[in-house]
Structure 1
């Protein structure tokens, strides 16, 4: 129940509209255009993994996820897009985006292993991102302005735009 309350509060802060149990996109046309709908699907899907345990090499919410496994699952389940397996390969996809130009749904990359693009998360708005951080932890939301992340930020990529179709799906995890 606490997880649901947290997700609802976060959703309200980011989107200004109530989240629904099935992650449906609010229908108010002045709130969301097609880009925003695709981005909202990514954010909703990413937030639905909060608490899923970290597992190195993990690609399934049921058995655990690593950072790129989480991003792969989110994009596949929310939009039907298949991304490469590693953060480094993902960093070659889409369009480069500056830190000041970030929009929800953008991929954010960090140097966490003494090499560029060794960690990836999904920007959810308001300076925050969702990711699968490390062994012993689980998927969570973090503030990009925290010193740890600011020092390690490598860049961002945009994979969704106003032409990205939104698929309907049932969230089975």
Structure 2
């Protein structure tokens, strides 16, 4: 598997911290993983779901953020989170076909930049979450990391893996 679930997981964030406040720890329902990137980046990801009020389906929201070992968010220029997200709404027939757990697993893989699960349509493998390559790329924390590293290689600020120090990575 291209990522490894951290064991043990970082502690949960202090409940008094606002979501935008910097601080160590995972948010409730997040899972911390180590990606198989060259620098072994750490990410925290979660998928939440909300049933639509009219009963027409479920909205899924997946988020991944680049983290330090203590679960604090890696920041760009000291103020912007390094994160990726995606949301999609699926009707009841799609949910019945694949199941909520499978959709959650696929959304988790999507924001972590993993290969999608597929099913066969007319003998052709189609991604379960068939969101298109542009959405898949822009929703991937791996892609975000790659773009930042590429930007840093062309500037004087160095690359992600060389930014450790002090209280955390600052890009």
Is the helix fraction higher in 1 or 2? 1
TM-score (norm: length of structure 1): 0.27
Q: Which has the larger radius of gyration?
A: 2
TM-score (norm: length of structure 2): 0.27
Kindly indicate whether structure 1 or structure 2 has the higher relative contact order, using CA contacts under 8 Å at least 6 residues apart. Answer: 1
